[in-house]
Structure 1
């Protein structure tokens, strides 16, 4: 019980620090166009007209994962990377519009969409829509459960269950609005993940909440046509601990480290002094929370594969 309280406290401490450090920026990529040109000819025979460029408009909505926080190369996270993959592999002219904002919950994403006619216009004209949502909604539930300074698994269970119900209604509203603006473009929706798994692999309760939240996202999205749920939970949570044996060894090690109890400051100090900067190779050493460039590459690969499986977005 004590270790579970420490885990939640640590997660909230790190998340609060991240929120304070993250700044707003949007990564707008210029449209790449290939204009085939023909030389004037005095010949009277009819020449075949060159093919027009095949262009794709991709719009990204969401929170810090869409904004690209943690990408040390500052290339726009998965949004910048998916653009490059579509250009190189599919030979398309791609325009991206990034509407990610750090800290946004599902209702706040919708509030921005409702307030911005420019954002609505982009969504209406999109060929493909990508979204990250849910992490900050779950964090709100954790904060509610620990507001009085105490917590327990039973109390956390209740808070998360209540948050899930609220989140389901908010996500339904957000997706309904997106679909009303654009009835045809496929929506590619990412799951959330556990950013502190590698440090508390011996404490399974947070994984339970993450899985339940992802199931809520998947269930809410199921009735919407051309919506595709993409699960990145295990990939980003486990990092390089990608086998049962590796995770078992990690859990044993974490249990030994945490057996006497640690406070949030001690955990943060241990993270900062890790010789590799971050124990999970897919997360940023700057905040131990968001994906780094390699982590965003993992997200991009899942997105690209899913887009190839469902190609309604293609010209």
Structure 2
């Protein structure tokens, strides 16, 4: 090949090489993000992350309404019983801060709780902003029916009391829904605090079971209202019972007090101060039952 042809071939090859380089450069320029595009992408990513973090930090408003169990009577730690415990559980699992407002009043029946919901402006305001509502109710209604017939339970009186309780609970739930139609409501059932001391009084356990059926039925009548079975977590304690030399029902008050004092630790979940309300361990058990139901319906409040 002559020198001229070789030079010409070199020029052609060089041109092709330069063309390829230019092509790659042009394509690179077309598809490579500009600095402002990179900045926008970074800002967008940070904004998305910020939104995620904001969601995680949303403060949940928990409004607790009810009787002495919401108040936390019997809790030797003096930390509002299950209310503070369930708030801690929510924080631990979801990372959401939780603000609780406690409207528990010792001794209140369903009628009295409903009256407070209907008349207290501060309660109504808090309730309207609640993400979660808990309710303890029914124990005092039941004890009102049983107080004069504890050892000889009148079945007809219990049935009549149950019907009244159902009507009152329906009215109460209607009032709660008036101020907050959407937030899930968790109704905690009642339990038999005397079971380990009076296992022979089967009517008491039957009355508790019927009361809880009523709460379950009312819960089923409303959207996002759930029943929590506290009875099975508290009533039977650790499975031991009072060693009786005679029927507790036939003891005089002095004998009864001595027997209860000697056996005060048989139900480790009931306060020895009154043999009625849960102690701190008892409230932990109630919280466990509550969380089980709350977790199953997490989509309604998280």
- 8 Å contact from structure 2 (residues 83, 100) kept in 1: yes
> Which structure would you say has the larger Rg?
2
Q: How many angstroms apart in 2 are the aligned matches of 1:200 and 1:117?
A: 43
- In structure 2, relative to structure 1, the CA distance for the partners of 1:300 and 1:67 (3 Å cut) is same
The 3-state SS of whatever aligns with 1:238 is: coil
Secondary structure at the aligned position of 1:183 is classed as coil
Aligned to 2:34: none
Q: 1:67 aligns with which of 49, 68, 71?
A: 71
- Matched residues, number: 256
Tell me how far 1:259 sits from its aligned partner.
7.3
**Aligned 1:98-109 pairs, distance under 5 A:** 98-109=102-113
Match of 1:184 in 2: 182
Give the match's secondary structure for 2:147: helix
Secondary structure at the residue paired with 1:288? coil
Report 1 or 2 for greater relative contact order, CA contacts < 8 Å, sequence distance ≥ 6. 1
Q: Deviations over 1:193-215 (max 9, x none)?
A: 00110011122121111111111
2:197 maps to what in 1?
199
Following superposition, which runs of at least 4 residues in structure 1 exceed 3 angstroms of deviation?
44-47, 143-146, 312-315
TM-score, L = length of structure 1:
0.76
For 1:264 and 1:180, the matched residues in 2 are separated by 47
Q: Which residue of the other structure, out of 130, 136, 142, is the alignment partner of 2:134? A: 130
**Residues 145 and 159, structure 1, Cα contact 8 Å, conserved in 2:** no
Instruction: Indicate conservation of the 8 Å contact 1:63/1:105, yes or no.
Output: yes
Unaligned 5+ runs, structure 1: 1-43
Match of 1:306 in 2: 293
Aligned alpha-carbon RMSD (Å): 2.1
Structure 1 residue aligned with 2:115: 111
Over 3 Å counting, the alpha-carbon distance change for 1:271 and 1:145 in structure 2 is closer
Q: How does 1:76-95 map to 2 (within 5 A)?
A: 76-95=80-99
Aligned to 2:164: 166
- The answer to whether the aligner puts 1:58 opposite 2:98 as a matched pair is no
Closer/same/farther in 2, CA of residues 264 and 207 from structure 1, 3 Å limit: farther
The equivalent position to 1:239 in structure 2, one of 214, 237, 240, is: 237
Q: Which has the larger helix fraction?
A: 2
Q: 1:296 aligns with which of 283, 286, 292?
A: 283
Match of 2:261 in 1: 272
Determine the structure 2 residue equivalent to 1:10. Answer: none
**How far apart, in 2, do the equivalents of 1:230 and 1:264 lie?**
35
Q: Secondary structure at the match of 1:197?
A: coil
CA deviation profile, 1:29-74 (whole Å, cap 9, x unmatched): xxxxxxxxxxxxxxx7754143211221111110000100000011
Query: Is this contact kept in 2: 1:66–1:132, CA < 8 A?
Result: yes
Checking the alignment, whether the CA contact within 8 Å between 2:224 and 2:300 is kept in structure 1 is no
1:145 offset after TM fit, Å? 4.8
Q: Aligned partners of 2:299 and 2:128: how far apart in 1? A: 15
> Displacement of 1:144 after TM fit?
5.8
Q: Distance in 2 between matches of 1:117 and 1:132?
A: 20
Residues 260 and 184 (structure 1), Cα distance of their counterparts in 2 relative to 1, 3 Å cut:
closer
Within the candidate set 155, 174, 181, 1:157 is matched to: 155
